[in-house]
Amino acid sequence: MAHNTHPAETERRILDSARRLFSEKGYEKTSIQDILNDLGLSKGGLYHHFKSKEAILDQLNADEWTATAHLLDELIDRNDLSALEKLRTLIISAVDAPAHLDLVRSQLALLKDPAFFTANMRFWSTGLPKSFRSLIDMGVQDGSIPTTYPEEAAQLLSLLGNYWLMPCFYPADRAGMEHRIRCLATMLDAISVPIFDETVILRAIKGLTALMPEEGTASA
């Protein structure tokens, strides 16, 4: 069934298939052959684009960050939202966007790999806070985020949002997850970073609950 039109089209089909299979079967249990069968593609046709299964995941990650960076750029340019509302929109898209959650789910098994885990932690501690910092600084300017701890808030949003809130690292049931999110909301309020209003709290509970092992299996 491989109607090979353009290389870019083939690459997109491989990525779409891989994202779906990683999400449905898990990264570890998905083989290159599964992707080939799904697409009716030859081995050579795939290896022309990606040298390994890990390279496919790397590209899905890169695409995801590109999408997040685009969303961030779009948000920064909008005049109808305060910086606080922009930050809330960004957080909601991270915790409750199906495509993003599928990607996170596909990474869960891989995060047990020390090299992959260490690289992610490094990005969460040094790279990602810069994106949060730019929005928080805008909030200090427009008065919607009147914190005296902009750098600390940027670091903690990235570290706690990507690590501490994740049920794969800190297991919890739904009630435990809600308790944890409300704890974070209270602490961020205390440093005048009131991102977690009731809407964001409920969206975060929904999104993070969907990442729990049982929930993930049940909904797949």
Query: Which CB atom, from 21 or from 104, has the smaller least distance to a second copy?
Result: 104
- Cβ atoms of 187 and 153 within 8 Å: the answer is no
Q: Return the half-sphere exposure (C-beta side, CA atoms, 13 A cut-off) of residue 32.
A: 14
- Residue 164 in contact with residue 202, Cβ under 8 Å? no
Minimum distance, C-beta of residue 117 to a second copy, in the bound complex (Å): 5
Output the smallest distance, CB 189 to a second copy, in A.
7
Residue number with CB closer to a second copy (2 or 190): 190
**Which residue lies nearer to a second copy by CB, 99 or 168?**
168
Minimum CB separation of residue 144 from a second copy in Å reads 19
Q: Which residues contact 185 (CB under 8 A, 6 or more apart)?
A: 195, 196, 201
Q: How far is the CB of 46 from a second copy (least distance, A)?
A: 29
Binding site for a second copy (CB under 8 A): 114-115, 117-118, 121, 125, 149, 151-152, 155-156, 159, 163-164, 169-170, 176, 179-180, 183, 186-191
Closest CB to a second copy among 75 and 177? 177
Greatest CA separation for the chain: 59
* Nearest Cα residue to 158 out of 203, 189, 123: 123
State the nearest-atom distance from the C-beta of 28 to a second copy, in Å: 17
Task: State how far the Cα of 128 lies from the Cα of 178, in Å rounded to an integer.
Answer: 24
Give, as one character, the DSSP assignment of residue 48: T
3-state secondary structure of 143: coil
Tell me the chain's radius of gyration from C-alpha atoms: 19
Q: 72, 55, 65, 57: which is closest to 27 by C-alpha?
A: 57
Q: Output the smallest distance, CB 116 to a second copy, in A.
A: 9
Q: Which of 90, 156 has the CB closer to a second copy? A: 156
Nearer to a second copy, 47 or 164 (CB): 164
